Amino acid sequence: MRRISSVGQVGLVQAVRVRLLNFLRRWVEFELCRIVVSSGKPYDFEYQEGFAARAVESSEKFHAILHDDLKDNDYSWAFERSDLCVANIADDKIVGFEFSTNQPTRVRPGVEFYFPEFWVYGFASQTAASFRGKRLARDRWKINRQMRPRRFTAARDVWYMNLANSAALKSDESDGMPSIRIGYSVYLVLSQRAYCWNSRGAKRMLCGFRVAD
């Protein structure tokens, strides 16, 4: 995602935080993230005309019609384990997408994100740069909940946001999805060895980063 770090766009505190975190990341690999869960409150978002959101079941189709801005990563592994993919499609191109799962998911080699098995983790939510600001994530979220297995239709959604990524934080606020901040999680890599820390709130809710094989 494009980084936003000017004071006018995100405010003084976040601008300073972004610059400090990105400076530190020059010297050591780490992520400091805010963990959020859906509140369970009712929501009623209008669909965005011209950007149909629907499930994509084929890895081949998904990667074949991705917008050029979204071709940085390979998500064939998510399709292999039957994670749900919902995408916004315009002019036969995927201009936004998100995956969801009820399984712990690798963040990087040696680190995974875990959570209660009766929750649903939303990850890799992305929108092509030229389509940001249209709040397409709202449509993906609604379709995602409709397409889930019945046992997860009322499940809490959980996701995290890197505090050094102002674009993600700003997008989360503007999308207006009813949510609750439950804590923070961080992983740190030193000498190729990963270390993880989770705040009290995250531990209480049984979610966060952990060291994995």
pLDDT in tens, 38-59: 887 766 666 666 788 899 999 9
Helices 166-175 and 12-24, axial angle in degrees (round to 10):
140
Please report the DSSP string for 78-125 in residue order: HHHTT-EEEEEEETTEEEEEEEEESS-EEEETTEEEE--TTSEEEEEE
Mean pLDDT of 178-186: 91
Choose the most confident range, by mean pLDDT, from 25-29, 34-38, 39-43: 34-38
Is the CB of residue 121 less than 8 Å from the CB of residue 102?
yes
Q: Three-state DSSP class for 188?
A: strand
Task: Extract the tokens encoding 120.
Answer: 């649903």
The H or E element spanning position 59 is helix 59-64
**What number does CATH give the domain 7-211?**
3.40.630
pLDDT tens, residue by residue, 138-170: 888 888 888 888 878 778 899 998 887 655 555
Is the CB of residue 181 less than 8 Å from the CB of residue 93?
no
Task: Extract the tokens encoding 75.
Answer: 């998500």
Distance of CA 188 to the CA centre of its chain: 19
